[in-house]
């Protein structure tokens, strides 16, 4: 066999192997399940007036402040930017898995003999929030494929909304809407850069770093993120100084209670309103 013919055959085999590999990958991706619904719909109840103003909020069955998502309402820009800067800088570029980060984390973990680095994307964290699983290799691989499938089925905006709606924010607070109300007493669209940065870092370790458990550590993490935002030229020096001057919210601000008797009746008999 001459060299040119051998090269042509080798090239065809390589292409065939590549196509077979892609086909097997797609089949595996199609077979990987996603929960339906994606999240347990155990939300609390929100009573609003005809203008959409919040009258009263009720805990869910697990005694959590967990508000249902508002369909079509975009995640506030400041919060989305702060989250991607802190959690996943390449969120809008990767297909659900950051391959270079995965390879880097794998090599670092193999060299150290233990888990010293992670490569979790926001999409992978959404999968983890759906059904928390034991952190073993099999589940991590499943999580990786489910994140890829999630990206095939939903837009980046939808995935970001899933993340902020279902992420833990300390104590019994689930989701950015509850967190914004409980910590700052305001709608998420009104968050300052300092407040958005605090909410961006909280889900990373809410059981350890939260306003009531370790406010100083939370302050340090928030300020580091604010500095990263300035380094990325997202905010300027003056905005940085103003944001770092904001104190960490340490108490839980109650939800509004307006027309409580009417709200209680609508909550007890939802079809009578």
pTM for the full predicted model:
0.84
Spatial contact of 180 and 199, defined as CB atoms under 8 Å apart: yes
Q: Rounded to an integer, what distance in angstroms lies between the CA atom of residue 186 and that of residue 9?
A: 66
Q: Rounded to an integer, what distance in angstroms lies between the CA atom of residue 45 and that of residue 16?
A: 55
In this structure, which topology does domain 32-272 adopt according to CATH?
A: Penicillin binding protein transpeptidase fold (1.10.3810)
Among 158, 126, 116, 124, which residue's Cα sits nearest to residue 141? 124
Q: What is the pLDDT along the chain (273 residues), one digit of tens a residue?
A: 555 554 455 556 655 555 555 555 566 666 677 887 888 889 999 998 888 888 999 999 999 999 988 777 899 999 999 999 999 999 999 999 888 877 776 666 566 555 544 578 999 999 999 887 666 667 788 888 899 999 999 999 999 999 999 999 999 999 999 999 999 999 999 999 999 999 999 998 888 888 888 999 999 999 999 999 999 999 999 999 999 999 998 778 998 899 889 888 888 877 665
**Strands 65-66 and 54-58: what pairing?**
unpaired
The domain limits of the chain are 1-31, 32-272
Strand partners, 54: 48
Tracing tokens 């959409």 back to the chain, one arrives at: 52
Q: Rounded to an integer, what distance in angstroms lies between the CA atom of residue 236 and that of residue 247?
A: 19
Q: 3-state DSSP call for residue 55?
A: strand
How many residues are there in the chain? 273
């Amino acid at each position: 066999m001459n060299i040119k013919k051998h090269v042509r055959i080798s090239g065809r085999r390589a292409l065939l192997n590549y196509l077979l590999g892609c086909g097997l990958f797609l089949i595996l991706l199609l077979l990987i399940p996603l929960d339906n619904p994606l999240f347990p719909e155990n939300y609390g109840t929100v009573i609003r007036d005809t203008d959409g103003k919040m009258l009263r909020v009720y805990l869910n069955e697990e005694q959590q402040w967990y508000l249902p998502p508002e369909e079509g309402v975009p995640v506030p820009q400041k919060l989305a930017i702060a989250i991607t800067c802190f959690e996943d800088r390449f969120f809008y570029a990767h297909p659900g898995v950051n391959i270079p980060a995965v390879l880097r984390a794998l090599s670092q973990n193999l060299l150290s003999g233990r888990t010293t680095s992670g490569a979790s994307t926001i999409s992978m964290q959404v999968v983890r929030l759906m059904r928390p699983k034991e952190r073993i290799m099999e589940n991590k691989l499943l999580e990786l494929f489910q994140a890829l499938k999630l990206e095939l089925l939903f837009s980046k905006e939808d995935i970001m909304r899933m993340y902020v709606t279902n992420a833990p924010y300390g104590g019994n607070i689930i989701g950015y809407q509850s967190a914004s109300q409980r910590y700052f007493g305001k709608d998420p669209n009104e968050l300052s850069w300092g407040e958005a940065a605090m909410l961006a870092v909280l889900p990373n370790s809410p059981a350890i770093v939260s306003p009531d458990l370790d406010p100083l550590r939370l302050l340090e993490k928030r300020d580091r993120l604010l500095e990263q935002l300035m380094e990325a030229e997202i905010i300027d020096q003056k905005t940085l100084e103003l944001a770092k001057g904001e104190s960490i919210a340490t108490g839980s601000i109650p939800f509004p209670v307006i027309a409580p008797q009417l709200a209680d009746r609508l909550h007890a008999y939802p079809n009578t309103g």
